[in-house]
Structure formats: C-alpha cells, structure tokens
Amino acid sequence: MTERRIRKYGAEVLRKPSKNVSDFGKKTQTLFRDLEETLEKVGGLGLAAPQIGVNLRAFVALDKEKGKIFKIVNPEIVFVDSETVIDMEGCLSFPEIFFAIPRPKRVVVKGYTDSGKSITIEASDILARCFAHEIDHLNGVLIIDHASRQEKEFWKEKISQLVAISKK
C-alpha cells in the first residue's frame, strides 16, 4: 500500500469527468489499497480516485458508525431524498476550507465493489453526504461549485493559494 499525494483545488484532474472502471484486476486492487491507506493517513471520511490523480470512477468512504470502509466502483445515485440538510462540508482537496452545502438526507447508490460484484447501498445523513460528495468528484464537480458567492469571497485568499500550489 502507498499513501498518495492528494491533488488540491486547481489541479486539472479534479475537473475532468472520470472514466468507468472495466477491469477489476490488480490495478484496481492497488488503486483501492492506495485510496484506503491515503484516507486513513489524512483522516477524512471519503476519497475519490481523481483526488490522487487517477481519472477513474472509484472512491472509498468511511462509515464511522459501523467502522466500515465502502469501496465503490462506477457509482450512480439512483434515488435522492427530497429532504435536504445544509451542513458545513470540507474536502481534502480544499484543506481547512468549509462551505455550507445542501445535500440529500438519504441517497441510494448503485455500483460495484472493488471485486466487480454489483451492489446497491442506501445511505443516510453523513454517509449520504459523503457518497454525494465523492460522486460529485467523479463528475468533475467540487464543493466550491455549491458554495455561495459570499463564501467564495470569504475564502478567496486561501483558494488563490491552493490554485498557486496546484500549478507547481
């Protein structure tokens, strides 16, 4: 397993829609080991492949209540609860920056496990937020896209620093 560098806001890979995974062999297993180890080291709730520079539809998410790591490939949200919750949300690609973002209280996600088994997962509350956030990453959508003009203005200097760092 290898801890990988997390790409910060401004990195091109974060804006590209990710490609479907078609091979569930050794490369995919290595990707998930790297995602899991990186997430464990940095202490987040979820991490998408583009955040470590890999343009594939794969992510890991931690369900802290159950102590379980979800490894999800080619996910799609097939149900979104009409009830939304606004909460402060951060992102490993936006360190120390938080935005008030509305997310569905509950979602149902279909996809595959890291070994290619078809799965359907119903998630609520923080796990639903995490799934929606990570699937956004796979579609090239970032938390800043959900932020208000006022929030963007508040974090303007820190965001500019991230962009400068990502260009190096």
Tell whether 158 is covered by a domain. Answer: yes
Q: What is the pLDDT of residues 21-61, one digit of tens each?
A: 999 999 999 999 999 999 999 989 999 999 999 999 999 99
Residue 5 lies in a domain: no
Among positive and negative, which fits the CA dihedral 71, 76, 82, 88? positive
Whether 21 is covered by a domain: the verdict is: yes
Residue 87 per-residue DSSP state: E
pTM (2 d.p.): 0.95
Residue 8: phi, psi to the nearest 5? -100, 165
Does residue 97 form part of some domain?
Answer: yes
Looking at the 3D structure of the chain, how many domains does it have?
1
Residue 161 C-alpha from the chain's centroid: 21
In a domain, 73, yes or no: yes
Q: What is the CATH number of the domain that holds 132?
A: 3.90.45.10
- pLDDT, one tens digit per residue, over 58-72 is 999 999 889 999 999
In the predicted structure, residue 1 carries a pLDDT above the cut 60: no
pLDDT digits (tens, 9 = 90+) for 124-154: 999 999 999 999 999 999 999 999 999 999 9
Residue 166 confidence class, pLDDT cut points 50, 70, 90: confident
What does the alpha-carbon distance between residue 160 and residue 85 come to, in Å, rounded to a whole number?
29
Active site residues: 134
Residues 6+ apart with CB under 8 A from 34: 1, 2, 3, 4, 52
Domain that holds residue 31: 12-166
Does 106 fall in a domain? yes
Q: What's the pLDDT band for 75 if we cut at 50, 70, 90?
A: very high
Predicted confidence at residue 130, as pLDDT, reads 98
| Cα distances (Å, whole numbers) of residue 70 to 11, 60, 99, 113, 158 | 25, 5, 25, 8, 31
